[in-house]
Amino acid sequence: MPRKKKANKEDKKTNPDVVGLNAQVLEQPITDTLEVNFMPYAMSVIVSRAIPEIDGFKPSHRKLLYTMYKMNLLTGARTKSANIVGQTMRLNPHGEGAIYETMVRLSKGYEALLTPFVDSKGSFGKIYSRDMAYAASRYTEAKLAPITAELFRDIDKETVDFADNYDGSMKEPVLLPTSFPNILVSANQGIAVGMSCMICGFNLTEVCETAIEFLLNPDCNLFDTLKAPDFSTGGELIFDRETMETIYKTGRGSFKLRAKWAYDKKLNIIEISEIPYTTTAEAIIDKVAELIKQNKIKEIADMRDETDLNGLKLAIDLKRGTDPEKLMLKLFKMTPLTDTFSCNFNILIAGMPRVMGIREILEEWSAWRIESIRRRVYFDLTKKKDKLHLLKGLGKILLDIDKAIKIIRNTDSESEVVPNLMIGFGIDDIQAEFVAEIKLRNINREYILKRLDEITELEKEISDLEDILKSRGRINKIIIAELKAVIKKYGMPRKTQIISEKEVEEYNAEDDIEDYPVTAFVSKHGYFKKITPLSLRMAAEQKFKEDDALSRSFETTNKAELLVFTDCFQVYKAKISDFEDTKASALGTYLPAKLEMDENENVIFVMDAGDYTGSLVFIYENGKAARVPLSSYYTKTNRKKLTGAYSQKIGLTAIIPFDSDLEIAVYTTDNRVLIFNTAALSPKVTRDTQGVSVMTLKQKHRVRFAAGADDTPIKNRAKYKAKKIPAAGSPLKQEDTGEEQLSLL
């Protein structure tokens, strides 16, 4: 398309419309506009603003931290934030507001980072609050946090390149020589032109341990050390292995975060103390208020923000009779109390944006860190070689100090001293300059001998440094040692709890469970059925498979929770309402299939959990018994499976539930019986405890059966009771076996 001819002076005189702004308008092909105007702008935003580099920082972060470092704020006292902002404008001319917002995000007070780099004082707002604003820069103070020493380690030893600032008045580092993979530790997000980045944070200790394992073995299993992302706001991460593997491999994917809560039974209040990193307290309150207004949530009387100096706290007052577990499941589904974090690990590598997985990031960081160490070693090597060179020149002077003094004394001009020393001792100008600058008081044999003693030590150090430069293994050892030092000095425990996706119960709005009495039947092969009283009255005889039989039955309600113990030392939880009502003539539901048990896992005991106030006694084959409170199996998160349900070190004989203490009869393979009271057993909080010995067994014999004494045919209980446990028990008498003697008459 031809360009429009520019108006000349004559045109302006004859045509008054061709003036001012109209005179500047030119027609231009869209392709030229994109190439000349849009592409440079897009590249500037991508490279110089929005996307972080391998050190984990965007240019704005780097300029701010370097300015604070040069202001001696790593070891010095705090200063007003306004001073820092003003000094930073020498490197970052984007205005006070943008610089101060950068400082706020890096600060400890704002709580956006797991490892904040700015030690702040004053009101810096909170990442979890939309309305809690930060104070003006003239009111707050800041300095560098101690961990920033790891960002600037050996920066003065040419470990990184420096470039001119925007006006060429000073130099600034292109990257910071971080001694740990900060790119994975600090959460980072940015929107460029045509691309963006969203990097979740990981725990500092786990990242450093992973980097160590990677340096030792590039094919290591990342999940062994890098469990999952970690966030400064805590909460719970719903972990799905397949999804997380995709994120680790490709750098893209998403996972769910949800809030942490606790229920105060006395006050009938739910307290939320940690929320997902991606939401705010105000957004949650607004959504709950909206749901209450729409009459979708009826269980809440009031909700308020009680956040104070101790941290975040959202309080929910419940109406009488509300089930807090059920309400939270509903809130998790319908409000930002559960939110999604979408990952996009887009990082600038040598000026080019790349989306990388964790292993690729570690490869790039390791290569970059190795180069930084080499540059540091080379810097030290050069300095030591220069010093050795001077000392060797000094060594030649030692041969004849008087000659050196004579040369200097007999030299007419000061400018001729160095050349005369060079000629007299066969040394170069640098060595001669060094000798010429020695003070008169130091021209003694003792001083020179001390300096010469350094030559041997220097030669050893130089040889060692040269060996480091040649050895990738030794450089790796240096990096590993520095990573271990970071772990020891700055490592902190995880803030975000990891819970398996399989353990998370989802709320289904369509589930309006009706509560009514039922009788539960469990077969020996693990078939379960629940029958209403009406159906039971119509047909009481239960049907089972040909080789199956009834194991246990109990009365309960449709809203009750089942605990299903298996022979793999696990217990599964299930709502009785999850099972359909059936009849006595039906076989029932096969529990291993319904509960998605592991392969070859079998049901050994099923019970009604009730309100988790009772206890269980586990009787083991070796004569030990363990009393475990039922509350040990209670979980707030509605997990569907618990491991370590009982001890796996000993064979289990029986599980006996009880609400109040009772007598238990224990039978052995050599036909002995012992009766003891559960009051003799101390409750153990640990589920997989081995308990205490209640019965001493003869060699090669074991406990074969145990039950409540009331459920056995024993008539003379006193004969089998023990005064103390452990005891050997007594031989079982014929009259206590429950078997009638056959008569010939």
Beta strand residue intervals within 337-480, DSSP E: 338-344, 346-349, 352-355
- So where are the chain's domains? 9-38, 51-178, 260-336, 375-483, 513-736
More confident residue, 8 or 277: 277
DSSP annotation of 723 reads: S
CB-based contacts of 411, cutoff 8 Å, min separation 6: 417, 420
The residue-averaged pLDDT of 235-249 equals 94
C-beta separation of 147 from 186 below 8 A: no
> What homologous superfamily is domain 513-736 in, according to CATH?
DNA gyrase/topoisomerase IV, subunit A, C-terminal (2.120.10.90)
Torsion of CA 670, 673, 679, 684, to 10 degrees: 20
Structure confidence at residue 2 (pLDDT): 42
What is the tens place of the pLDDT at every residue in 667-685? 999 999 999 999 999 998 8
Confidence of residue 739 (pLDDT cuts 50, 70, 90): low
Nearest one of 702, 16, 54, 132 to 346, comparing CA atoms: 54
H or E element, residue 606: strand 603-608
Query: In this predicted structure, which of 148-162, 187-201, 597-611 has the lowest mean pLDDT?
Result: 187-201
Band the pLDDT of 328: cuts 50, 70, 90. Answer: very high
The per-residue pLDDT for 45 is: 73
Pull the structure tokens for residue 149: 């020493």
Strand locations in 137-186 (E): 141-144, 162-164, 171-173
Given the structure tokens 């429950």, which residue do they identify? 738
Residue 166 annotated among the catalytic residues of the structure: no
Whole-number CA gyration radius for the chain? 39
CA distances from 176 to 74, 162, 369, 475, 740 (A): 15, 10, 10, 19, 89
For the chain, percent of residues with pLDDT exceeding 90: 64
**pLDDT band at residue 431 under the 50/70/90 scheme:** confident
State yes or no: pLDDT of 689 exceeds 80: yes
DSSP structure string for 400-422: THHHHHHHHHH-SSGGGHHHHHH
Q: pLDDT grade, residue 22 (50/70/90)?
A: low
What topology does CATH give the domain 51-178? Topoisomerase II; domain 5 (3.90.199)
Pick 260-336's CATH classification: 3.30.2270.10, 3.40.190.10, 3.30.1360.40, 3.40.30.10. Answer: 3.30.1360.40
pLDDT bucket at 124, cuts 50 / 70 / 90: very high
The active-site residue out of 41, 128, 139, 263 is: 139
Over range 531-547, report the average pLDDT: 86
Q: State what percent of residues in the chain have pLDDT above 70.
A: 94
pLDDT reported for residue 24? 64
With beta carbons less than 8 A apart as the criterion, state whether 176 and 146 touch.
no
Same fold, 51-178 and 513-736: no
The string of pLDDT tens digits covering residues 347-404 is: 999 888 999 999 999 999 999 999 999 999 999 999 999 988 888 887 777 777 778 7
Q: What is the pLDDT of residue 17?
A: 47
pLDDT at residue 1, rounded to an integer: 39
pTM > 0.85: yes or no: no
Q: Which CATH number is 375-483's, of 1.10.268.10, 3.50.50.60, 3.20.10.10, 1.25.40.10? A: 1.10.268.10
